[in-house]
Structure 1
Amino acid sequence: MCLAIPGKIKSIETRYNGTVRMAKVSFGGITKEASLEMLPDADVDDYVLVHVGVAISKVNEEEAQKTFRYLEEIGELGELEDVDEYLPKPE
């Protein structure tokens, strides 16, 4: 099953000569990288839904926490382990 996981943006950097914005996103203590190409207005401390390494929408903190708790309850957070293989490799 493919899910979008809520997380909080901790930092943002640009890569590939400034053409790609990447964020470090915290998912309940697990930090992964995600592309911000679909959310050009995303900023540090925003909550976003991440699907296969791409932030696809912004959400408020309450909704992010509610969704994260639900995913924990149903045991779907193990999918976070596979996210890195979908991301571009750093220069």
Structure 2
Amino acid sequence: MCLAVPGQILTADGDDPLMRQGRVDFGGIVKVVNLAYVPEAMPGHYVLVHAGFAIAVIDEAEALKTLASLESLSEFDVGEREA
């Protein structure tokens, strides 16, 4: 199974379309991501990132909804299952 995580582009750098990179914020964790597959993406846009590559520009509301869902999963404690 593959998982793509939404993040917001903070900065975008590079003149070569294949080497263009951006700093992307994933709810407080910032990573450098390749932007070659989303040439239209600019700072402020939300993108789906898989394996270090932004693969799609997505709607802000959908990105925030997904981030909230992922955050709620981090609060789940496997040790607290009901018998």
TM-score exceeds 0.5: yes
When Rg is computed on C-alpha atoms for both structures, the one with the higher figure is: 2
Gap regions ≥5 residues in structure 1: 76-91
Q: Distance in 1 between matches of 2:29 and 2:36?
A: 21
2:39 is aligned with 1:37: no
Q: Distance in 2 between matches of 1:62 and 1:51?
A: 19
Structure 2 equivalent of residue 59 of structure 1: 58
Between the two proteins, what is the percent identity of the paired residues? 44
Pairing 1:1-91 to 2, within 5 Å after superposition? 1-14=1-14, 18-19=15-16, 20-75=19-74
RMSD: 1.2
Structure 1 equivalent of residue 80 of structure 2: none
Count of residue correspondences: 72
Runs of 4+ with deviation above 3 angstroms: none
What do the CA deviations read for 1:33-88 (whole angstroms, capped 9, x no partner)?
1111100111110000000100000111110010011112223xxxxxxxxxxxxx
Q: Distance in 1 between matches of 2:59 and 2:53?
A: 18
Structure 1 equivalent of residue 78 of structure 2: none
Q: TM-score, normalised by structure 1?
A: 0.73
Q: TM-score, normalised by structure 2?
A: 0.80
